[in-house]
Amino acid sequence: MSLRTSLLLRQVSARLPGLPAAMQRLYSLDVAAPLLRTQGYLGGRWVSAGSEFPVLDPATGQELARVADCGPAEAKRAVDAAYEAFQSWKQVTAKERSVLLRKWFDLMTLHKDDLAKLITFECGKPLRESLGEISYSASFMEWFSEEARRVYGDIVPSPARDRKILLLKQPVGVASIITPWNFPSAMITRKVGAALAAGCTVVVKPAEDTPLSALALAELAEQAGIPAGVFNVVPCSREKTPAVGKVLCTDPLVAKISFTGSTATGKILLKMAADTVKKASMELGGHAPFIVFDSADIDEAVKGAMASKFRNSGQTCVCSNRFLVQSGVYERFLDRLGRAMDEELRIGHGSEPETTQGPLINARAAEKVSQQISDAVSRGAKVLRGGNRLHGSFMEPTLLSDVTAEMLCTREETFGPLVPVLRFNTEDEALAVANASNVGLAGYFYSQDLAQIWRVAEALEVGIVGVNEGLLSTPEATFGGVKQSGLGREGSKYGIEEYLDVKYMCLGGLRP
Ligand code: ADP
């Protein structure tokens, strides 16, 4: 126990209703001590704040750790440190920045098991998925370590013989980065990898539910040799969040905000950032349609539905949220999906190897799913699987048929393991329902008809479309939405542009 620390060693009550026997045992978070950081990380130093807030295991409700509850003063210190560090970080050559990001990637890979455990314990995700998230998260450090060296400007043919036109790319400055709990590691690296590669410095405010993964990243940043002040983390409680958020979105030294979270919070942050005209990237809510046409390969569609719906118990912004199935295959799809749910889904603590469905992040989240189910049932939907709320924030994976467009579950994002299935007759009808939303992040459809594939892929009002595929995210491709799903794109060769300005330099006085 000297190098490793065990923070949680308590029993889940044997009286908890509705949980499998496997839940009635001890769960302990056991990770290498240096990775279990509980202080803020400002200007290359680990700092306490006047108070602390608890981090809970959403599966058991047990306290995992108490973390420094940073306030506006710490946020300001972090911004100042980032601003100071920016003056030298922007001068570091792209090649050197690339080497440092690569080292950070290597360290994440080396410590992947411990980093995954942190995710599972603070966010509830099954361990296999947490390992997947760490590999995804680290891949942004790898990708942007490569992209750092490919930030090219342009030399443009000039209309005047005595002038040259040069377009230079320069880092925008300090970026405030505010992230959610559902991908406690990857939502940070997808932004930070791009920002640091471009030559920006950052202040990260992680979600109050999942600060441990963010602080572990800071520990590895330090080990990798990222200079003091380039990467700062200010963890804080829900209570302090608005005050910290205000500093991060209004301080004149901050040039850019990048946020992933709910559309409602994104709008608050955008309004705050407007006064000082900051650049903004926003990855906001989704309401993904999953359309199965008569021509689809139904087994593939079921596989895609399982993957896109039940990852992280349905708590991702690209999770399928509304299932539209054409009349000719409606009954068959329901039958096979129900059977796949019976065979593949196991509820339990995320650290159990057989678990595929962990808890939702908190009881409020489970309550929201329950309400959507009650609303749907009261309007005529049929419960084919599940339907019940279990202990705490656990929710039974639920399959509903006879769903209509008026029900709550088809009008708002669920963020839980609910599959509401609507029936449609024509392609136009499906597209009208799919596009009747003020957000547009991801969309999925299954079809074997090539002409239909082109038509529907173009017509869906989304930023990401999966054709005969349910899992799409990768650093090589863009991530981002249209409508109120956000602004800007992350990942791919475009992600780094969000952290760069283009400067037009006119080199005049050149005698022909
Ligand atoms: P959720 O409702 O799922 O927590 P949010 O969009 O509210 O989703 O949270 C995403 C992130 O935004 C979290 O880090 C949260 O602390 C942060 N956040 C929420 N409100 C504010 C705010 N007023 N200022 C800054 N950050 C905020």
Give the pLDDT band of residue 6 (cuts 50, 70, 90): very low
Higher pLDDT, 252 or 391: 252
Mean pLDDT across the stretch 411-430? 97
Give the pLDDT band of residue 158 (cuts 50, 70, 90): very high
Q: To the nearest whole number, what is the mean pLDDT of the chain?
A: 94
Counting ligand 1 atoms within 8 A of each CB, the residue from 178, 248, 265, 272 with the most, and so the one to mutate, is 265
**């299932």: which residue's tokens?**
323
Q: Could you give the residue numbers annotated as active site?
A: 283, 317
Mean pLDDT across the stretch 58-77? 96
Query: Residue 240's pLDDT is what?
Result: 98
Closest protein CA for atom 13 of ligand 1? 207
Mean pLDDT across the stretch 381-387? 98
Query: Residue 3's pLDDT is what?
Result: 34
Q: How far apart are the first and last CA of the chain?
A: 75
pTM over cut 0.85: yes
Q: What are phi and psi of 229, to 5 degrees?
A: 90, -15
Residue 241: CB within 6 Å of ligand 1?
Answer: yes
Query: Residue 12's pLDDT is what?
Result: 33
Mean pLDDT across the stretch 174-179? 98
Residue 135: CB within 6 Å of ligand 1?
Answer: no
> Is pLDDT above 60 for 150?
yes
Ligand 1 atom closest to Cα of 264?
Answer: 6
- The residues with which 232 forms a beta bridge, in sequence order, are 203
Percent of the chain exceeding pLDDT 90 equals 92
> 39 CA to middle of ligand 1, Å?
20
Mean pLDDT across the stretch 393-417? 96
> Is pLDDT above 70 for 5?
no
CA angle 284, 287, 267 (to 5 degrees): 30
> 507 CA to middle of ligand 1, Å?
46
CB 269 within 8 A of CB 241: no
Please tell me the distance from the alpha carbon of residue 34 to that of residue 110, in angstroms, as a whole number: 14
Mean pLDDT across the stretch 455-484? 98
Residue 208: CB within 6 Å of ligand 1?
Answer: yes
> Is pLDDT above 50 for 300?
yes
Query: Residue 2's pLDDT is what?
Result: 30
Query: Residue 7's pLDDT is what?
Result: 34
> Is pLDDT above 50 for 4?
no
Query: Residue 329's pLDDT is what?
Result: 98
Mean pLDDT across the stretch 356-370? 96
DSSP element (H, E) containing 335: helix 330-344
> Which candidate, 214, 158, 217, places its Cα nearest to that of 184?
214
List, in order, residues 6 or more apart from 476 with CB less than 8 Å away: 143, 491, 492
Query: Residue 512's pLDDT is what?
Result: 78
List, in order, residues 6 or more apart from 13 with CB less than 8 Å away: none
> 265 CA to middle of ligand 1, Å?
6
List, in order, residues 6 or more apart from 345 with CB less than 8 Å away: 310, 356, 357, 397, 417
